Amino acid sequence: MSAPTTTRKGLTAWRNAVFAIFFLSGLSLASWVARLPEVRDETGLSTQGVGLVILSGSIASVLGLIAAPPLMARFGARIGMAGTLISVSLGLVLIGIGGSLAPSVPLIAIGLAFAGFGNGAVDVMMNVEGAEAEREIGRTVMPLMHAFFSFGTVAGAGIAAAAAALDIAVFTHLGTIAAIIAVGAVIAVRFVPHRTELGDPADASTASAGRADAAPRRPFGERLRDGLRVWGDVQLLLIGVIMLGMSFAEGSANDWLTLAAVDGHGLEPAAGAAVFTVFAVSMTTARVLGGPLIDRFGRVLTLRVLAATGVIGLSMFIFGSELWVIIVGTVLWGVGASMGFPVGMSAAADVPDRAQAAARVSAVAIIGYCAFLVGPPFIGFLGEQFGLLNALLVILVLMVMAGLAAPAARERTGKPGATGVEEHPETTGTTGTA
């Protein structure tokens, strides 16, 4: 077995940097989604029109997902994550201008394209980094990393709800959030170690970060071929099915839960934003608690229980008429959808070879985020034809599929740190908690 490649201090800084990137990504998404009813009213868009505008961001996001592996192979994760989050910031500014300062549907669509491309690409990169950090930590921490994404969505939704209640303009709100994301990204990536196997160029900072294996950087073509080869792995594709169902459930909630609560159940816009906050808090709580549960009960049982929980919650939200039923359903929906993506990341990385693990994580991230991003416009199309609540029935089927595919995520090498990384005094005790 090889020795760990990062000191305890460097590993902690690396972990915290990944936490920050996840947080900023969640903050960016929830900030504009929670103001969507006001943007819709300001521009006069229909439900289907909102879906078509979101589609521009979804298409760009898919392009970002596809572009992420070659971008990482060429520039490395540090430059890649900082650059793509700056793209997200620019997109938020344009959405703010088109949504309030100078109402313009085309400008909103362009802003969503910038934000979508940046978020699509950074989502792959931060999950690759998170999976690598988890392997060296030696415990299941991917759910906690995704909890920081949820922390970001909770913060974003809460700030947006307060901004709406205080009648703060969408442009002022989103412009401020954009500045926070851009500055935060540049600071955070400084603490991500250079890793030549993930595409980073080796330089002096590699040694200063505590790296003991400054191997020569593999050729770009070789790294790109490795990334394409993993698509022939049937087990990996089944892990992708798990992530497809869970990501569809999460992504649809992010884009449509507020409007479904307002238009489908007749709640006020502020109450709709509060319901979305309940969803985000539920996901956050489940992800914070999820790592130890997975280590105790295993991935398969955890995924099956969560899929069943999500199905029950969605049914309560869709068919419930009393407010308490809607809220409880929202909680169960959030809990049920909370762990599929991070557990899928861990399962994809559960192989001894690091370069192969990075390629596998990138592949399933693309599958999951395609569902995460393409699903909402599809829900919008169905919602225009049959109503938003009826459109959400599609998610029930996909969550059942995710539960059936759960055995593909079974542990193959034991704990995350058992894939060729030995425990030693410098890493023991790093638990992955915030």
Measured between alpha carbons, how far is 337 from 290 in angstroms, rounded to an integer?
12
Q: Distance between CA 29 and CA 184 in Å, rounded? A: 15
Mean pLDDT of all residues in the chain? Answer: 79
**Residue 431: per-residue pLDDT:** 30
Could you tell me if residue 2 is inside a domain?
no
In the chain, the number of structural domains is 1
Element (H, E) at 219: none
Which residues pair with residue 2 across a beta bridge? Answer: 421
Tokens of 118: 């940046």
What per-residue confidence (pLDDT) applies to 198? 55
Both structure tokens of 272: 């709709």
Over residues 284-335, the pLDDT tens digits come to: 888 888 888 888 888 899 999 999 999 999 999 988 888 889 899 999 999 9
What local confidence, expressed as pLDDT, does residue 188 receive?
92
- Collapsing DSSP to helix, strand or coil, 2 comes out as strand
Residue 422 within any structural domain of the chain: no
Entry field: residues in the chain: 434
Separation CA 313–CA 399 (nearest Å): 11
CB 250 within 8 A of CB 29: no
Residue 374 lies in a domain: yes
Confidence of residue 428 (pLDDT cuts 50, 70, 90): very low
Inside any domain, residue 323: yes
Higher local confidence (pLDDT), 150 or 71 = 71
Q: What CA–CA distance (Å, rounded) separates 389 from 333?
A: 14
| Per-residue model confidence (pLDDT) at position 205 | 46
Residue 62 lies in a domain: yes
Tokens (6 digits) for 250:
């999460």
Q: What is the mean pLDDT of residues 323-350?
A: 88
Would residue 274 count as lying in a domain? yes
Q: With cut-offs at 50, 70 and 90, classify the pLDDT of residue 219.
A: low
The tens digit of pLDDT for each residue in 235-262 reads: 888 998 898 888 888 878 877 888 888 8
How does residue 426 score in pLDDT terms, banded at 50, 70 and 90? Answer: very low
In the beta sheet, which residues pair with residue 421? 2
C-alpha torsion 269→275→278→284, nearest 10: -80
* CATH number assigned to the domain comprising residue 293: 1.20.1250.20
Rg (CA), the chain: 20
For 198-232, b/e burial (b = at least 16 CB within 10 A) is bbbebeeebeebbbeebeebeeeeebbebbeebee
Does residue 200 surpass a pLDDT of 70? no
* Residue 371 in domain: yes
The pLDDT assigned to 120 comes to 85
Closest Cα partner for 224 from 363, 83, 353? 363
Identify the weakest region by mean pLDDT among 6-20, 148-162, 227-241, 419-433. Answer: 419-433
Q: Are 361 and 127 in contact (CB under 8 A)?
A: yes
Where in the sequence is the domain holding 387, given as residue range(s)? 8-201+219-410
In a domain, 93, yes or no: yes
